[in-house]
Structure 1
């Protein structure tokens, strides 16, 4: 199976090891993985800030950078959800409408691709400790991803999964929201970290590094004894 990687900006710049671990998992499952080094942003930051024309320019490049008839896999429910749910608005009645429609259909968040397309839940991973899972808004609300990540984590040897209180509540990042409404964002992050710590977890796990990056800032500042992990890093552990 041919798989193209879509690596979001913040993963490329700040968490490249997660991208490499995603490749490691996909290749273990027999996928032929390709990565177009010309790819850039999907356009979500500009769109959320109200700059639709600028977003459309970036999104047009995104469409050109990917072959719409191959599977496209990303380690981010947020970016996946944006392309799926808002590219139709950007390109409706355009010359690329059909191409965009096919691209949106073949774009999957990483865990969604593993569980729903490849039908895999056990990667042979090992991680000793207690984990808790944060339902990122993009994955949960825009992609409908809920049970898949948990099925994958339940198969990780040595990992005990504890649900935290309010696991579906937003962490407070929200991209530009964290900049424009800093006190509210910090308060929401504080609540999320406290719920994760109170679950007894050693690891705070999610599909989205944007959420985890935000929460890790609070964790580091306050010295909480918990470590963030993207689920791709968990699934690549121990083998």
Structure 2
């Protein structure tokens, strides 16, 4: 049985806890032995992106201590995995933690990447009626090089038709503090993403990143639009009771 350490990012812990529980269900269904360290907190990405690298390093040091460098670490967030895989280079290269960091970078995976490329599993018996578009988050596509993996998993969901939309790889406008500092631009980018999805008559916008989904769903709620966002993990655990 494959041993997996679950990393639950801040966004999911605070706003989408059900996604964390569904990640455990999904990994167990895939045949993994899942452990969770309740002392874990943040990977340090917010401080890092805001330019506070000393503070980010302090948080990163705790992250390195909270996880075992020898076992797989899996998270339902490409953004946070991308921070560890890439941002930690700036924080820990040639430091006392250099080797520990490198081992952890080799062993940390975004969920869809882990399921498809490590476990070699794509079908989990999910069923969900409707049409959907998949939103390529910037972190998944550009930092983690994840593109086909979520689509392979969604193709196995019974009753779900996945469509492509215009400007498929364009940012949703979140970008952490970008959404706060440049609210007008951020909102316009979310508007474009939602309208592109509605243009192909999608019922759902699905992604690997809850931060993107929060951005997009906020726009949907504000304008009362007939579409809904869902995390990939929640889609892959839908309909199990009917099987």
Contact 1:112 1:145 in 2 (8 A): yes
Q: Which residue of 2 aligns with 1:175?
A: 176
Shift of 1:94: 1.1
Shift of 1:86: 1.5
For the pair 1:80 / 2:76, whether they are aligned, the reply is no
Unaligned runs of 5+ in 1: none
Contact 1:76 1:209 in 2 (8 A): yes
Q: What TM-score do you get using the length of structure 2 for normalisation?
A: 0.97
Q: What TM-score do you get using the length of structure 1 for normalisation?
A: 0.99
Matches of 1:145 and 1:92 in 2, distance apart? 25
Matches of 1:70 and 1:16 in 2, distance apart? 24
Q: Which residue of 1 aligns with 2:53?
A: 52
For the pair 1:164 / 2:165, whether they are aligned, the reply is yes
| 1:52-104 deviation per Cα after TM superposition (whole angstroms, max 9, x unaligned) | 00100000000000001100000111110111011122011111110000001
Q: Which residue of 1 aligns with 2:185?
A: 184
Q: What is the 5 A alignment of 1:64-75?
A: 64-75=65-76
Q: Which residue of 2 aligns with 1:34?
A: 35
Contact 1:162 1:200 in 2 (8 A): no
Q: CA RMSD in A?
A: 0.6
Matches of 2:41 and 2:198 in 1, distance apart? 35
Matches of 1:43 and 1:180 in 2, distance apart? 20
Matches of 2:75 and 2:59 in 1, distance apart? 17
Unaligned runs of 5+ in 2: none
Matches of 2:200 and 2:138 in 1, distance apart? 20
Q: Which residue of 1 aligns with 2:22?
A: 21
SS at structure 2 position matched to 1:23? helix
After TM superposition, the runs of 4+ consecutive aligned structure 1 residues lying more than 6 A away are none
Q: Which residue of 2 aligns with 1:123?
A: 124
| 1:139-183 deviation per Cα after TM superposition (whole angstroms, max 9, x unaligned) | 000000000100100110000111111110000000000011111
Q: What is the 5 A alignment of 1:224-239?
A: 224-239=225-240
Q: Which residue of 1 aligns with 2:109?
A: 108
| 1:3-46 deviation per Cα after TM superposition (whole angstroms, max 9, x unaligned) | 00110001000000001111101101110001100001100110
Q: Which residue of 1 aligns with 2:139?
A: 138
Shift of 1:120: 0.7
Matches of 2:228 and 2:191 in 1, distance apart? 15
For the pair 1:204 / 2:205, whether they are aligned, the reply is yes
Matches of 2:132 and 2:192 in 1, distance apart? 17
Matches of 1:167 and 1:114 in 2, distance apart? 23
Q: Which residue of 2 aligns with 1:223?
A: 224
The aligned length equals 239
